[in-house]
Amino acid sequence: MEKSRLPPYACRRIYSAKMTPLLPYIFFGERSQSIPTRYDVMDGASAPNFDEIQLKHSDAMTINHQTLNVIGKRLTIMKAIITLAGITMNKSKAQIDKKLALARAQTVAQYLRST
CA dihedral 31, 35, 38, 39 (to 10 degrees): 150
Asked if residue 93 belongs to a domain, the reply is yes
Cα separations in angstroms, 54 against 14, 32, 59, 72, 101: 12, 30, 12, 15, 32
Structural domain span for residue 110: 47-114
Tens digit of each residue's pLDDT (9 = 90 or more) over 77-105: 887 889 999 988 876 666 778 999 999 99
**Measured distance CA(35)–CA(19) in Å, rounded:** 26
Q: Are 36 and 27 in contact (CB under 8 A)?
A: yes
Tens digit of each residue's pLDDT (9 = 90 or more) over 17-47: 667 778 889 999 988 999 999 999 999 899 9
Domain count, the chain: 1
Asked if residue 10 belongs to a domain, the reply is no
Which amino acid makes up residue 75?
Answer: L
